[in-house]
A and B are shown apart, each in its own frame.
Chain A
Amino acid sequence: DQQVKQNSPSLSVQEGRISILNCDYTNSMFDYFLWYKKYPAEGPTFLISISSIKDKNEDGRFTVFLNKSAKHLSLHIVPSQPGDSAVYFCAAHPWISTASKLTFGTGTRLQVML
């Protein structure tokens, strides 16, 4: 039962263009959503988060959008840089739960081409 889904296993984008990574969830109890970035042989690194009371959160080149009615969120990276090439995981938890009992998606591998 995959409660957090990232349906695109991979994405290729030209340097300087926008990268859009998508994530869908099924558990209506999820109230807090996070994006993690992971390089090979390293642990996930927190990138950006959003709570369900917002529909957008921006941090530099990274913006996360949340559409709660559609149970969908997306991460926008603009402009994309070669160093952004990594696997991106979407994660979620219910607000009332211990924050770090996260449910992760299967990840999207982003490749930013020169």
Chain B
Amino acid sequence: NAGVMQNPRHLVRRRGQEARLRCSPMKGHSHVYWYRQLPEEGLKFMVYLQKENIIDESGMPKERFSAEFPKEGPSILRIQQVVRGDSAAYFCASSPMGAMNTEAFFGQGTRLTVV
């Protein structure tokens, strides 16, 4: 049973370009969460999705950021017109169900560098 898979592991974008980060949850998991870790900080919640639904996006910046988890395929975190401040490690986590679950399993992360 493969773990949470994120790709790419490293992504370099120039300012103004778009970044697409992908996350395939563990088999059987239908809940996906995205977190961002800025240098020297803890992980900050961004968005919680179930298949075809955004459940909680309270941690998402209001502009340029969007997320989806389609019926088929991985979850995508999309950052448009990237700026240097978007440079961070982005982690995806998955769990089999929401409120009654006690832990989530994290992927290895995508390290985004904006130059």
Contacts and interface: CB of A to CB of B under 8 A. Distances in A.
Interface stretch (A60-68, A76-84, A100-108): A100-108
A98 B98 CA distance: 5
Given A102-B45, A106-B42, A46 B103 contact: yes
Contacts, number: 73
Interface string B50-73: 000001100000000000000000
Nearest to A103: B45
B48 A98 contact: yes
Interface in B84-110: 91, 93, 95, 98-109
A41 B111 CA distance: 9
A45 interface: yes
B115 interface: no
Nearest to B105: A46
B33 A42 contact: no
B99 A105 contact: no
A100 B43 contact: no
A44 B43 contact: yes
Contacts of B104: 46, 99-100, 102
Contacts of A34: 102-103
Interface of A: 4, 6, 32, 34, 36, 41-46, 49, 89, 91, 96-107
> Which 6 pairs across A and B sit closest by C-beta, in order of nearness?
A43-B106, A104-B42, A100-B104, A98-B98, A99-B101, A104-B43
30 contacts: A41-B109, A42-B108, A42-B109, A43-B91, A43-B93, A44-B106, A45-B106, A46-B104, A46-B105, A49-B103, A89-B42, A91-B43, A98-B56, A98-B99, A99-B98, A99-B102, A99-B103, A99-B104, A100-B31, A100-B93, A100-B103, A100-B104, A101-B33, A101-B45, A101-B56, A102-B43, A103-B45, A104-B35, A106-B41, A107-B42
Interface of B: 4, 6, 31, 33, 35, 40-45, 48, 55-56, 91, 93, 95, 98-109, 111
